Structure 1
């Protein structure tokens, strides 16, 4: 299928390491993930664009690779990485704005500063269509403090995102040193994409929903990848067990279930989760309008993601649903 739009696609700046950002060698040795991961993250208009052309990807939304500013415990350093990254990404996507756009990176140490940086990118720079937040914000002298955005202090930021009509993509990141030691030591193979990423992001997203953030900001839109970070599969049990008699202080509207927010304020993408049964489950639970295509390049293969979507997912649930997924993609990326 032509004219696909991919939403969770990573990019990096050459001096990221010196600014406290992602260093490819810290994740795996060269060649283990995506070939030359470092080179692929830096490339936009070469191999990346060629593979987009070869696989029917019309438009790609880029974001600074995780953990970005969220991985930096020092406030000033996190704000600097966000600012430098946003300036560089704007210049990069505007070299070919018909094929690329960007997501704004933010330090979330201070909600007011995050709002100001989002507004700067939205009004003074070009090429941005949303925000990327890599789960919780690291803070504290030892990097073990975790700042979560369901805290009422972040309403300042959510208000700005709603006002600017900027969808917020909540993306995984690695755990803090303390959590890594206590939960994942000896089972490091589970700490990342296989389990840990989803477990942390789905807790954060559900925390935001049940804290009433979407009720206070009804035009706000949130996106998570990887087929919904396990939430669609567990949605019956989530709603069944959020007993209002047991949890009377839960701030989410009392006449709504978590599932009621999907398709209007909460959306998922297929990034890095190319499973037709999983997609069918997601569509059955949250509706086709809540499901959007993504690849997760360069951590995943552009051809693999596209072949699956074109040849398997489309055949499994029919052309009309296939078109509905694409229309949801188009609304998000072209807004």
Structure 2
């Protein structure tokens, strides 16, 4: 034969033969093992509710759960003797437990699982980091509360940085020098210029207390924001409210700006003097003010009442400022006692929300001063 047909270990067949099987020896390994026993049928599980003697470890777990449930005033998270019902929390007789009802929380806690490399949503009450040299300088000048000052290593020192460090030291704010990469991570890649100021979450005033405190004044005045989403507008409105004698501001909890570091800075420290409340439903809050004797006016470019003819300005008043784009929402507009327009000389379509609030509050303050 030609070629290397005489080599040792040569193939003598034309193709590979059939693979040798197990001969039925592994047949038992392919058979199912039956249903998975629920917790109340496993003697080694703490939820076991049978009659046979429990292992010491399981008995100890059941006793521990019963003591914890008694201390918290709830039903124990174990199966009831003689039944197959294992529930979590308060008893739900006749209700089938959910798929994950008997599972224990992971070692990392009972919160939602987060995929590796991804961060969960920031908690509502988490502190905020205000970045940038000018914003931080202005925030410190406005006496915005702060819990820490972060300074990147090796930054260029200028007059603003010197003022920031000196002011933070005078106020007793901890100064932490960190790497620039770490500050990049903390700010999410936002341009920070090597400076970051950590401010605590804002403490909102309960709405009922806000209204009660306003009624103690001879001429109560409140400001409501209907869907204003820019924190700079919110801060500017708070600043105008403080300047013209308003006793408080209230905003919706959802789809509206809250008191952030930006709002703090824009208010020039007025947020520390004017109480701010968050309400679940703005329409219900306005109706509550009306029941207390307030006249609710909504700022509208097409309002039927001229601002300069607003006779209600001298009494208890709530000024409602609409959002930046759509103005007053339908329900809020229908709730207002009247819609007030600001007369303008030129054909400007509308004023900025914070500017309109400032003009209105200034006219209200002027009328009240003239009546005094």
Structure 1-normalised TM-score?
Answer: 0.23
Q: Comparing both structures, which one devotes a greater share of its residues to helix?
A: 1
Q: Which has the higher contact order (CA 8 A, sep 6+)?
A: 1
Greater radius of gyration (CA)? 2
Alignment TM-score, normalising by the size of structure 2: 0.21
